[in-house]
Amino acid sequence: MNKNKSASHAFMPVMLDVEGLQLNEHDLRRIRHPLTGGVILFARNYESRSQLVVLCDAIHAERPDVLIAVDHEGGRVQRFRSDGFTRLPAMRLLGELWDRDVLASCKAATDLGYVLAAELRACGVDLSFTPVLDLDYGESGVIGDRAFHRDPRVVTMLAKNVNHGLMLAGMANCGKHFPGHGKVRADSHVDIPVDTRSLSTILNDCALPYQWLSTTLTSVMPAHVIYEKVDAFPAGFSPYWLQDILRSRLHFNGAIFSDDLSM
């Protein structure tokens, strides 16, 4: 093994959570740790906009360089839903609108990205892990209406417009779940999904949005899925998927976030 590569892997920063609505001593001790690179917030960390602002200010006061993130996509995956936060639609609704009116769907996607990012940034949250680039095969319960569409071209165009809206409000983006979670039925939060397709099939279908968006994605989150005909490891822990495919073949140079390590 290349010693330099091994050493760099040993010092990758961790994004951790905090326990409640405000920081306690355990939270502060972990945030101060030099290997802490970010804090992810959940619904349990939210009571009101004012409370969220105080929490984010406290985190940034302790570590100005720490990234505060949240899973805030719209639809059923939106952590903050009250006290002035807009209820964002599921991404599938944008795909359905595309089938009726392409231009209207593109505008709606940009508007959604802007509202999503502007509301979070106003409270001190730096990043939302969005957009979902999985294809809507109609088979995955955990993805379901979080996906824009079955057609990778539509997914790419709508995601590009969401990303534009995010950018207008000063937020980066994160495409997930590379190379695609939509074809497997198992929920990776509680099981280990296995995708039996070949590499060429995956690259020519569900991975296409990553190829087409590679220069505009600022970060990517791999899937906790084993693609057994490609590698024995889940994509998020696979040097082949992350280095040989995502970095070298698809020319992605942004940040890579693991999905939740407790899954």
Buried b / exposed e across 32-63, counting CB within 10 Å, b at 16+? eeeebbbbbbeeebbbebeebebbbebbbeeb
Q: How far is it, in rounded angstroms, from Cα 156 to Cα 126? A: 23
Query: 118 near 169, Cβ under 8 Å?
Result: yes
**Catalytic option among 9, 26, 189, 251:** 189
Q: CA 104, CA 119: separation in Å to the nearest integer?
A: 22
pTM: 0.92
259 a catalytic residue: yes
User: What pLDDT is attached to residue 190?
Assistant: 62
The span from the CA of 16 to the CA of 69, in Å, is: 10
Provide the sign of the torsion angle of the four alpha carbons 222, 124, 60, 167, taken in this order: positive
pLDDT in tens, 144-177: 999 999 999 999 999 999 999 999 999 999 999 9
102 vs 158: CA distance, rounded Å: 10
Q: Give the confidence band of 2 by pLDDT, cuts at 50, 70, 90.
A: very low
Supply the DSSP symbol for 90.
Answer: P
Confidence check: pLDDT of 7 > 50: no
pLDDT at 6 over 50: no
Residue 104 CA to residue 7 CA, distance in Å, equals 49
Q: Do 59 and 70 form a contact (C-beta atoms < 8 A)?
A: no
Catalytic residue chosen out of the listed positions 27, 145, 195, 259: 259
Banded pLDDT at 15 (limits 50, 70, 90): very high
Order of strands, sheet of 255-256, starting from the edge strand that comes earlier in the sequence: 175-178, 219-222, 255-256
219 beta partners: 255
